[in-house]
């Protein structure tokens, strides 16, 4: 459990571009709830509406999808500054590239004391425009602190003054397999592989679909929406796999355990990641996650040689993935050792541990500098 902190700010705002059920918005909602339980006044603000299930208490500035219109963005910027001036938060956390920049610029104009962008993906995969704007904001000193979700993310940004708070997550509620598959409309019998995440180039669902051609005994469930949906459906039809690939657009976050309960293995052939919340959920659920051998997943399994050797695979080697899927399904001893090791690793990624670090950082930021404290003591004496 999170300990009681002695020096806490009165109000906190998390600012996101849109609540799209992605990792950053889910993290913000979880952190906000944890902080409210400990006496903070916390709000979630999102510039745009989305297809995600934003909390009822969240503030949406502009209904509808994200816009690139300069007129819309300037109007949003002015509204944001006015709202911050009225709210007067002690801490403003940015969640995504656009909202990170606005955290610095609008936060300064509104007089926010602590302006903290958070980084959830490697710099090289961020829109170059936002990279440039973020660098300008950093060099101008508009940020008072910075947080990265993983060491690999921090290293990609090349800033020695960035604090790393490793992502955590609550364990999903699990269900009986038959109930989970029925709830998601999946076949009751047979091997079921799963992938969860935005249907996009980053998540590389094409790889998982192609893997089925090497695994005739398996089916696949994809959970998510995104820009690649039409292309993926065309790919599924072209490869004759329509009866073996099931797309579930969304699952309410409180029932996300249905997915992990329904599948035998979870696939993460991502081209890049920050520190995947879905993979952390799979660890908590004991559902072995097969992951592409990239920096963030190597970091996730760094404390477990067994998991690193078993679950990390090169994304350029589909035969190796197919062989490892088959091995984990057939070798009960290997599967049991893997699940036991996931259980051992699980506490390292607890949500309470993450929230504890955020709250202790806030306490440190609010603590008077040591010299000022000594001077105050001398004056009192």
Q: Specify the pLDDT at position 50.
A: 66
> In this model, does residue 371 exceed pLDDT 80?
no
What is the per-residue pLDDT across 233-275, written as a single tens digit (0 to 9) for each?
999 999 999 999 999 998 988 899 999 999 999 999 999 999 9
Lowest pLDDT segment from 72-86, 99-113, 213-227, 352-366: 352-366
What is the per-residue pLDDT across 328-337, written as a single tens digit (0 to 9) for each?
999 999 999 9
> If one looks up domain 177-349 in CATH, what number appears?
3.40.50.2000
Q: Which residue has the higher pLDDT, 65 or 140?
A: 140
What is the per-residue pLDDT across 283-334, written as a single tens digit (0 to 9) for each?
999 999 999 999 999 999 999 999 999 999 998 999 999 999 999 999 999 9
- The beta strands (E) that lie in the chain are given as 11-18, 41-48, 59-62, 91-94, 114-116, 118-119, 147-148, 163-164, 191-196, 218-223, 245-248, 265-268, 289-292, 312-313
Provide the pLDDT confidence category of residue 8 given band limits of 50, 70 and 90: low
Please answer whether residues 255 and 173 qualify as being in contact, where contact means their C-beta atoms are separated by less than 8 angstroms: yes
Whether 11-168+350-379 shares its CATH topology with 177-349 is answered: yes
Q: Specify the pLDDT at position 25.
A: 80
Q: How far apart are CA 13 and CA 353, in angstroms?
A: 20
Pick the CATH number of 11-168+350-379 from 3.40.605.10, 3.40.190.10, 3.40.50.300, 3.40.50.2000: 3.40.50.2000
Q: Specify the pLDDT at position 378.
A: 35
* 29 HSE (CA, 13 A, CB side): 21
What are the extents of the domains in the chain? 11-168+350-379, 177-349
Q: Specify the pLDDT at position 19.
A: 76
Pairing of strands 245-248, 265-268: unpaired
């Amino acid at each position: 459990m999170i300990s009681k902190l002695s020096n806490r700010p009165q109000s906190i705002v998390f600012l996101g571009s849109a609540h799209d059920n992605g990792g950053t918005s889910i993290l913000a909602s979880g952190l906000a709830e944890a902080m409210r339980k400990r006496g903070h006044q916390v709000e979630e603000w999102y510039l745009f509406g989305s297809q995600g299930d934003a909390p009822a208490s969240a503030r949406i500035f502009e209904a509808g999808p994200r816009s690139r219109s300069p007129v819309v963005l300037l109007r949003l910027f002015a509204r944001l500054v006015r709202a911050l001036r009225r709210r007067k938060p002690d801490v403003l956390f940015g969640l995504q590239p656009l909202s990170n920049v606005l955290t610095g610029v609008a936060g300064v104009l509104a007089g926010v004391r602590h302006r903290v962008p958070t980084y959830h993906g490697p710099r090289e995969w961020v829109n170059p425009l936002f990279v440039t704007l973020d660098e300008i904001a950093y060099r101008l000193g508009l940020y008072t602190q910075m947080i990265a979700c993983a060491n690999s993310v921090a290293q990609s940004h090349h800033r020695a003054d960035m604090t790393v708070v490793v992502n955590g997550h609550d364990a999903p509620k699990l269900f009986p397999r038959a109930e989970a598959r029925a709830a998601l409309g999946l076949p009751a019998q047979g091997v079921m592989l799963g992938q969860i995440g935005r249907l996009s180039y980053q998540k590389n669902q094409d790889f998982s679909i192609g893997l089925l051609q090497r695994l005739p005994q398996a089916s696949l469930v994809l959970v998510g929406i995104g820009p690649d949906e039409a292309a993926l459906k065309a790919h599924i039809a072209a490869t004759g796999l329509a009866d073996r690939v099931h797309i579930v657009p969304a699952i309410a976050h409180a029932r996300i355990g249905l997915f992990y309960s329904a599948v035998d293995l979870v696939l993460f052939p991502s081209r890049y990641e920050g520190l995947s919340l879905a993979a952390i959920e799979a660890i908590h659920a004991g559902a072995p996650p097969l992951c592409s051998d990239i920096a963030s997943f190597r970091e996730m399994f760094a404390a477990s040689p067994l998991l690193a050797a078993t679950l990390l695979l090169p994304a350029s080697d589909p035969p190796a993935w197919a062989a490892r899927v088959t091995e984990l399904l057939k070798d009960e001893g290997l599967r049991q050792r893997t699940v036991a090791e996931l259980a051992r690793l699980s506490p390292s990624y607890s949500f309470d541990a993450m929230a504890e670090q955020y709250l202790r950082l806030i306490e440190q930021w609010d603590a008077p500098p040591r010299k000022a404290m000594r001077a105050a003591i001398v004056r009192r004496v």
